[in-house]
């Protein structure tokens, strides 16, 4: 009986040893899976941070691209307006050239006619004049003939002066149109350079955007791999924990069965109760995977206490002063936006030194509601509205700071900054 009891004890010890060995193997596999999972989670967090940074940079770059696209769109609109204005100037120049030729021809014709009359009157000498005067029938007729001769001289002289004035005015108009056309052509060249520059910048930024797309795709692929690794290790941990629990349960069942058999075979004598192996409880770690972080009829009110009439009165003090490209001096020279900026600065109102930027300043106003002190914006040019359809502005190097009709060019915007 004692021998049988010893066999039961040995069987119990063997079963416990086998269960312990199996649990050790399971624990080693679980620890390895947990370490691999932890490393994958750390890598996933790093990949997610990189993705977030790339997306932030990409978003900032997209904002820059959108801004440049808007600049290019506005520039193309201005180029279209400028082309229409150039076509109008060319037509105007053709007409004024024809008018000048006609005026010069008329002047020559009148001068020739006058010379013929003078020649006729003086070829016959003073005797013809005397005979004509002495042929009068009375004093009244004599005076009428004297007045007639004088009227002929006066008529010829006035007519010729009139034609000469017309020729001069048309010539001056032609010179003005030629100057304005040259300015528009210079502006067209500047716009072409700006367009080329913007298109190059956009091409570079879109290339950078493509690089960000590639980097994001690579980082996202790496993050997906880390997620897959975490999921696989979680599955391994779960499976090994299941096996460990099954082994523990089997060991406990075997120990209980052997203990029951040992107690049944004990008949008197000393008591020898074999105790089964300790029922160790395996630690449970379910393991959590990483988380993936990712103008119409506008007429607005005034917001300043500055009077538009005061602005116009101040601006008109500088009419006649020179136009200087890039200048801001009201006395020594300013360009169109420099003139506007300096005039309003006198009243404590800060404006940009850019005709394009001024098109977005203040509030939109319809031309029908324009008031003195409003800004009248053209393609590449800006002026101050005086009222009554007139503007004061730094027009060009040819005429400097002057006043003009507000509709002398196509108006693209009216802005109220007062």
In a domain, 280, yes or no: no
> What is d(CA 368, CA 297) in angstroms, rounded to the nearest whole number?
8
CATH code for the domain of 343: 3.90.1720.10
- Reduce the DSSP state of residue 244 to 3 states and report it: helix
Q: What pLDDT, on the 0 to 100 scale, is given for residue 311? A: 95
Q: Any long-range contacts for 177-181 (C-beta under 8 Å, 24+ apart)? A: 177/89, 177/92, 177/93, 177/96, 178/93, 179/396, 179/398, 179/399, 180/89, 180/396, 181/86, 181/89, 181/90, 181/93
**Tokens (6 digits) for 99:** 């008018």
**Tokens (6 digits) for 137:** 């029938």
> What is d(CA 106, CA 120) in angstroms, rounded to the nearest whole number?
21
Angle at 211 between CA 206 and CA 216, to 5 degrees: 120
Q: What pLDDT, on the 0 to 100 scale, is given for residue 314? A: 95
> What is d(CA 37, CA 15) in angstroms, rounded to the nearest whole number?
33
Helical axes 139-264 vs 2-123, angle rounded to 10°: 180
> What is d(CA 244, CA 253) in angstroms, rounded to the nearest whole number?
14
Q: What pLDDT, on the 0 to 100 scale, is given for residue 126? A: 47
In a domain, 268, yes or no: no
Q: What pLDDT, on the 0 to 100 scale, is given for residue 35? A: 82
With contact defined as beta carbons under 8 Å apart, do 71 and 134 qualify?
Answer: no
CATH code for the domain of 14: 1.10.287.1490
Both 184 and 75 in a single domain?
yes
In a domain, 154, yes or no: yes
Q: What pLDDT, on the 0 to 100 scale, is given for residue 281? A: 36
- Reduce the DSSP state of residue 281 to 3 states and report it: coil
The beta-strand segments (E) located in 280-325 are: none
Helix, strand, coil % over all residues of the chain, rounded to 5: 70, 10, 25
Last residue of a domain, one of 244, 263, 282: 263
In a domain, 281, yes or no: no
- Which residue(s) pair with 385 in the sheet? 391
Both 120 and 253 in a single domain?
yes
What ranges in 124-138 are assigned the alpha helix state H?
Answer: 125-134
In a domain, 289, yes or no: no
Q: What pLDDT, on the 0 to 100 scale, is given for residue 283? A: 34
Q: What pLDDT, on the 0 to 100 scale, is given for residue 280? A: 36
Both 319 and 189 in a single domain?
no
pTM, 2 dp: 0.48
Q: What pLDDT, on the 0 to 100 scale, is given for residue 272? A: 38
Both 254 and 397 in a single domain?
no
Number of domains in the chain: 2
Q: What pLDDT, on the 0 to 100 scale, is given for residue 41? A: 77
Helical axes 2-123 vs 125-134, angle rounded to 10°: 80
In a domain, 276, yes or no: no
How many whole angstroms from its chain centre is CA 363? 19
Which residue ranges in the chain fall short of pLDDT 70?
A: 1-27, 107, 110-157, 159-160, 163, 258-297
Closest to 274 (Cα-Cα) out of 260, 287, 288, 286: 260
Both 89 and 25 in a single domain?
yes
Range of the structural domain that residue 7 is part of:
2-263
Both 234 and 314 in a single domain?
no
In a domain, 316, yes or no: yes
């Amino acid at each position: 009986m004692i021998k049988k009891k010893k066999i039961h004890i040995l069987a119990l010890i063997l079963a416990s040893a086998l269960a312990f060995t199996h649990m050790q193997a399971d624990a080693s596999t679980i620890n390895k899976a947990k370490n691999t999972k932890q490393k994958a989670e750390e890598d996933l967090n790093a990949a997610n941070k990189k993705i977030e940074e790339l997306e932030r940079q990409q978003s900032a770059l997209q904002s820059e691209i959108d801004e440049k696209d808007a600049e290019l769109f506005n520039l193309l609109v201005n180029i279209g307006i400028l082309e229409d204005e150039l076509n109008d100037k060319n037509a105007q120049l053709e007409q004024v050239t024809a008018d000048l030729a006609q005026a010069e021809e008329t002047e020559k014709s009148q001068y020739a006619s006058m010379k013929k009359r003078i020649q006729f009157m003086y070829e016959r000498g003073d005797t013809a004049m005397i005979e004509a005067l002495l042929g009068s029938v009375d004093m009244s007729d004599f005076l009428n003939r004297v007045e007639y001769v004088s009227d002929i001289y006066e008529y010829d002289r006035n007519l010729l002066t009139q034609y000469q004035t017309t020729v001069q005015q048309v010539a001056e108009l032609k010179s003005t149109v030629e100057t304005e056309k040259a300015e528009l052509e210079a502006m067209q060249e500047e716009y072409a350079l700006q367009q080329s520059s913007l298109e190059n910048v956009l091409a570079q930024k879109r290339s950078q955007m493509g690089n960000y797309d590639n980097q994001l795709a690579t980082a996202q692929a790496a993050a997906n791999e880390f997620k897959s690794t975490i999921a696989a290790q979680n599955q391994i941990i779960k499976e090994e924990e299941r096996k460990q629990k099954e082994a523990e349960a089997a060991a406990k069942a075997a120990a209980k069965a052997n203990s029951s058999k040992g107690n049944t075979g004990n008949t008197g004598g000393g008591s020898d109760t074999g105790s089964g192996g300790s029922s160790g409880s395996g630690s449970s770690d379910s393991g959590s995977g990483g988380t993936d972080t990712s103008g119409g009829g506008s007429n607005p009110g005034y917001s300043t206490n500055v009077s538009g009439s005061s602005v116009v009165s101040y601006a008109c003090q500088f009419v006649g002063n020179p136009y200087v490209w890039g200048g801001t001096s009201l006395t020594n020279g300013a360009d169109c936006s420099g003139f506007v900026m300096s005039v309003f600065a006198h009243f404590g109102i800060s404006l940009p030194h850019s005709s394009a930027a001024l098109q977005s300043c203040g509030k939109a106003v319809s031309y029908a509601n324009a008031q003195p002190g409003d800004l009248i914006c053209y393609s590449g040019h800006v002026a101050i509205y005086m009222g009554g359809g007139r503007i004061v502005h730094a027009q060009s190097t040819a005429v400097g700071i002057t006043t003009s009709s507000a509709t002398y060019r196509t108006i693209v915007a009216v802005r109220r900054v007062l």
